[in-house]
Amino acid sequence: MDKLIITPKTKIYDLLQAYPQLEDVLISLAPPFKKLKNPVLRRTITKITTLNQAATIGSLNVEELINTLRKEVGQEKLSEVESSETHYQTDRPAWFDQKQVANSIDIRDMLHAGEQPVHEVLSAIKKLGDDELLEVIAPFIPAPLLDKSLSLNYRHWLKKESDEKYVIYFGK
């Protein structure tokens, strides 16, 4: 079987199935990746998270991440990594008003239990009134969720409260 070619679109799950030795490399590159040791998270969240999204979660340059992993397994360095740089709204937007928060979902327990919160969060956004906001509390930047919400043209504001707590506000 041909070994997996590592690109920004490679899912972490597939990467670690093909190259289990890269788990320690990932963890050494960014502290949030320690969560890969959790078998439940590993079976769930890694199946939808690409290396491009992982770079965002770990505050890493995607090209450096890809080339570090490729070097470890003997693949040639990519000179230009196609990064679908997603620009998340991290500055407080003019539309934000705390009084408009109609619902709050803390996805930390869901993630810890191995559940994928994407559908629950998107369902909650759909139920919002035009002037209402949804607050989502996460243990890291939930890049797959943010990317999905952007593809559906929902607005968001990503606020880092600590290394273990991010709050995202979504609106229509």
Contact 167, 159 (CB under 8 A): yes
Over the stretch 39-95, which tens digit does the pLDDT of each residue have? Answer: 877 778 888 899 999 998 888 888 999 999 999 999 998 876 665 556 788 889 999
Residue 1 confidence class, pLDDT cut points 50, 70, 90: very low
Q: Which domains does the chain have, with CATH numbers?
A: 12-72 (no CATH), 98-171 (3.30.110)
Average pLDDT value for the chain: 88
* pTM as predicted: 0.70
Question: 91: buried, middle or exposed (CB in 10 Å: 19+, 13-18, 0-12)?
Answer: exposed
Over the stretch 110-136, which tens digit does the pLDDT of each residue have? Answer: 887 778 788 899 999 999 999 999 999
